[in-house]
Structure 1
């Protein structure tokens, strides 16, 4: 685990769908879709990907001029593209900004994230489509943030980094262990099934009694 990193170094839909990157089997239809997707980066995109920032969660009314005005204070902008719907022309609420110098990209990445632009808190990250191997966009079930079909969140990106696995000595806690009494923090849960003969009603009664005990304890 010495080389562990909270950010993905190579994109894997299965790992991205896991809070700590230790899941061993898909648990979301979107993950299946991303695993079988065949996606190649858009060849029509120009510019240096290492000098390009991805800006999302924009106000639909935010214009190119407004973005240029806000982000030019971090350095000279070489190219700015606000992505719009090809039919309606409406903003899709994300943009790509290419700077002329690396220090400008570093400064904007550090300071512009969560900046409020037109009453909206924006999200700023490095471009990943051309820099992260195996990248699959959200429309194909990929991505590193946001809710998916089943409400599953994605991890491994700046918005939602991986959590470091707790059980480092004997290997990561597997998802299958959580159903046998392990909680998501690597420890035994309060409601560990002590008897394999318990049915769901017994476990529910146990949880109800425990909840009542805690409620009365708070009153005392």
Structure 2
């Protein structure tokens, strides 16, 4: 005798212990049969201990009667509870033990009463429940659902923040006859207004941090791309993380190895003026790598070529065309500008002023056909040219100097070394005078040596 509970956390199959708790099993089976438990909430979850359900609305909610037995449903509120027999051999020894929640009878302290609420244990050896809850079954399938319920986030009253509910009940085997007046509904009833009023966060509700799989994957890829771009900016490969590829450059691939730059430019030039067309080749062998970059003067020509040339046959090869995603030339322009500024003794890691504009510029008049880069302020560009010109003039003056003043002070002028000719040599002491002084010193040392030998 088994019952399948379809819950929002997963399916749970319960085997009923009809030999040990026949009345408890009959009550549970018949309540399942009339769909009494449908949309009932799990309203008390204590981690690694147990969870409780079985009240269609939930205890304490407006309109709740804490649940009713099958006989109370059929015969009125006077039969809402019934006296249970707790079998002494049944213990809450293992996870997945199913038992009816009971209360002490007001008429007899030794009696315990049950209605519709039941408990499923989430841990082993819970002897605290022995004698307080009446065991009538055990879970045989659906322990993954028990794990999900066990991990549910709950408030301070142990109620899950996101609703966990019994969606449907299916009786797999029923050995009991139906009591008088029991009518099985032809289909699952819709939730009542009182039940709908107890919904907190529905299982189908999307939380802010959640979304559909496609949106979540897109957000993940965007975060990853931003992180990678920031890394490239930090190591100096990109001028800034938000740099975007140019919109006037096409990427063409699947080319025939024999296709040349001139052939490709001739074919694509019918859509507009081309600033550069380059088939990428192996540096060592010079062989074509079968892809190319084509830069147009304006974006409209680039877009037209993209739509018209997709899948066109060139040299027996059907090409593939896409918009370029490369920013390598932008990075080259930035690095060149940065290195130039460093050579002039100013600037730093941040690059030249004006890169924060984060836009591409268009080459005017066909100049610099092999490059495209970033926008600069005209004023900044003028200042750069003035600094470059001043730097070149300084270098020219340095080269025009024929000698160093320090060298002249140490060794004398060219005229001095040639024998004392010239005003500079005569004024400061010529090289010839120095030679005469050395000769006199040698003569004095020689006379001293002779006098020493005579003694």
Report the TM-score when normalising by structure 2. Answer: 0.20
User: With CA pairs under 8 Å and 6+ residues apart, which has the higher RCO, 1 or 2?
Assistant: 1
| Larger radius of gyration between Structure 1 and Structure 2 | 2
Higher helix content, 1 or 2: 2
Report the TM-score when normalising by structure 1. Answer: 0.40
